[in-house]
Amino acid sequence: MPKTPRPTSSHGGITKSDPYAGASARKQKASASKNAIFKMNTDIGQHILKNPGVAQAIVDKADVKQSDIVLEVGPGTGNLTTRILEKAKRVIAVEQDPRMAAELTKRFQGTSAAKRLELILGDVIKMEQLPYFDVCISNTPYQISSPLTFKLLATTPGPRSCVLMFQREFAMRLFAKPGEKLYSRLSVNCQMWAKVDHVMKVGRNNFNPPPQVESNVVRISPKNPRPSISYDEWDGLLRICFVRKNRVLRSGFLGTNSVMAMLESNYRTYCAQNDTPLDDGPADGVDEDMEVDDGPEEEIMDIDDGEDLPDFFKEEADKKARKMMDNPNRKRKGKVAELVRSKVKKVLEVDTELAEKRARLCDEGDFLKLLWAFNQEGIHFA
């Protein structure tokens, strides 16, 4: 009797009756199951880096040493974590999604590397203080790109380097120069406090699921020693300047009541700390020359660079401004308010001659000049 030919697969490869076919199918099914543990929440930027070559390149560019403690933000299922643990002394992984955290724990359970992995379940942005670390590596959820960058820049002592995956346009903001479209508070802060290098471009197909945009990996190396100014003061000044980066600085300061209210509050605090007496009486008259904006004021929350101003940075400033504005006992045209206004005007028009310059055209030197002149007048931003 002639033998019946064995059926072949529709792809012309392994036959279905092949003894290895079942094992291969099971292996493929298990692999697919592993890559689809649960549905990714793209609303919070969950895109797993699936290309092992890219993952290895990121770790290599971080120049991790055997003595290093590495902070990994958003480890996901551990594709980067595995490679970091091969080089680092210890990894502190911060993960917000309990499902991801469970998979990460499962992946390293029973391995020798498990003892060197510390998993923190929580929101890295809401952590009051980050644990000590030498290097930060992150396939950054795009929604926290800005607050994470600011948090890392403000960390003291600063890490040796941070290698971070960002949405391409966001990454380009880090390098933007005065006058360029993407120039922002983020640009000034990054270039003031760190050296920023472009590492590589990463296409969307290297992720699962693919994001809507292309990505870039950048390396942020905080300056050592750090600039000898207060980060909070510096960033506080920039927040005001970039509220409306296309408006002249005179309007951004003197034409915004909430800004003036905050500066008055800070000036009162400064005087109290330095035992400087203040005359709280009503103003003798109003200098009409000080009124620079006839239209409705633009509040500090109405901003050009919204992505660069995370809530946790602006809450305190907004709280101070509203407290001053809502206080029924506050005298809007009091002598202290008038004094602060005259000081601000002097700094902008006389001391720095930057009153008519726009923030988008100011460089690092201009902002340093402003901060120094304001501080000389007892005007502070933190």
Binding residues for S-adenosyl-L-methionine: 47, 49, 74, 95, 123, 139
C-alpha to C-alpha distance for 141 and 148, rounded to whole angstroms? 10
- Give the span between the Cα atoms of 229 and 233, in whole angstroms: 8
Q: Which helix H or strand E contains 216, and what residues bound it?
A: strand 215-222
Residue-wise over 358-377: b if at least 16 C-beta within 10 A, else e? Answer: bbbebeeebbebbbebbbeb
Give the chain's radius of gyration (CA, Å): 27
Residues 24 and 363: their CA atoms lie apart, in Å, by 61
Sequence-distant (6+) residues with CB within 8 A of 132 are 69, 157
Residue 210 near residue 236, CB atoms below 8 Å: no
Q: Which residues line the annotated binding site?
A: 47, 49, 74, 95, 123, 139
Beta-carbon contacts of residue 147 (< 8 Å; ≥ 6 apart)? 125, 310, 312, 313
